[in-house]
Structure 1
């Protein structure tokens, strides 16, 4: 396992350092620039476009973030470049634009968003973009079918499981992912503690980050049960 101690060194800005989508929206170049300026690591989400490019965008559908109808997989990268996020001057960026902006100045944790039947090639495209990137970067996903592709298509890139839940069948499903080369876990703070997180932290010595931390109670819970937080809505100190 490669050394990924950098993953937990600084707080991680959830979808960049946005202002809860008042004027600086999530997953925009403005939010990413604000995170870099403050020295925060960046968490972001990526999808595959109709023409096989990778864009930084969270939702499957376009309505909440762009005010337009349709789904992410129905638009090309050029069409995304023309869409404005939240009525601001920010467009939907490509992964290449994000990498060019950050330039290794802070770590990146990229969550791959799968859509069954519409995401073929996403893992390979992300890995291709990251091969020539010299900064600290990791990938992760909720989607087990994508995680199963990580060892073959994104070997050498630190990879993690994004997860939630504390019911027995959910915990069992998370344990099943340990055989697919993951080296960290990003877990919902509201579902801590649980047996899976205790096992990966204390037995496997894997780092665990939490999502999404929004208040001091969640900060305290994170550092009691995990190693670092993915936060939004406030400005934490760089040294927790």
Structure 2
């Protein structure tokens, strides 16, 4: 396994360093700029547009973030760029715009959001861009069908499982994904500890980051049973290099 110490070296700003969508909204260039300024790693989300371009946005439905009816997969890249996020001046950036802005200054953890029947080519599109990117970056997903494509379409890029839960059926499903060359996992902080996280950390020496840390109990669970936090709503200290 390649060295992933950079993945856990500093706290990870969930969807960038936003202010809980008051004036600086999630997954915008403004939130990413703020994260870089404060030396946090960045977590972000990507969907695929109708013209097969990865765009940085969390929801597939446009209503909450852009006040529009419809879905990301129904819009072209040009149409997505016309949308204003939360009524601010920020648009929904393409992954290319985000990568150009960050330019390797802090690590990236990119979550691929699957939409069954509408996401063919997403892994390949992200992998193609990261192959040319001069910086530390990893990809991850909840969606098992996307993870199965990581090694084929994004070779050499650390791939992770985004996961939650303590129920046996969920834990068993997580274990099944270890057959697909996982490099790390991102686990719900409130579902720690559990057998899957304990196994991958202790037996496989696989890094575990947690999501989404917003309070002291989640912070304490994360640092007791995981290796780094994905946070929002406060500013944790960044280790001095």
- TM-score where L is the length of structure 1: 0.99
Give the distance between the partners of 1:174 and 1:91, measured in 2 at CA: 35
Indicate the RMSD between aligned Cα atoms, in angstroms: 0.8
Q: In the TM superposition, what whole-angstrom CA distance separates every residue of 1:47-79 from its partner, at most 9, and x where no partner exists?
A: 000010010000010000000100110001000
Aligned to 2:153: 153
Give the distance between the partners of 1:75 and 1:176, measured in 2 at CA: 34
1:92-171 → structure 2 map (5 Å cutoff): 92-171=92-171
Count of residue correspondences: 240
Give the distance between the partners of 1:218 and 1:195, measured in 2 at CA: 18
CA positional deviation for 1:239:
2.5
Give the distance between the partners of 2:215 and 2:237, measured in 1 at CA: 13
Aligned to 1:7: 7
Give the distance between the partners of 1:164 and 1:22, measured in 2 at CA: 28
Give the distance between the partners of 1:236 and 1:224, measured in 2 at CA: 16
1:23-38 → structure 2 map (5 Å cutoff): 23-38=23-38
- TM-score where L is the length of structure 2: 0.99
CA positional deviation for 1:217:
1.5
Aligned to 2:16: 16
1:47-86 → structure 2 map (5 Å cutoff): 47-86=47-86
Give the distance between the partners of 1:168 and 1:219, measured in 2 at CA: 25
Give the distance between the partners of 2:132 and 2:73, measured in 1 at CA: 26
Aligned to 2:232: 232
Q: In the TM superposition, what whole-angstrom CA distance separates every residue of 1:21-68 from its partner, at most 9, and x where no partner exists?
A: 000000000000000000000000000000100100000100000001
Give ranges in structure 1 of 5+ residues lacking alignment.
Answer: none
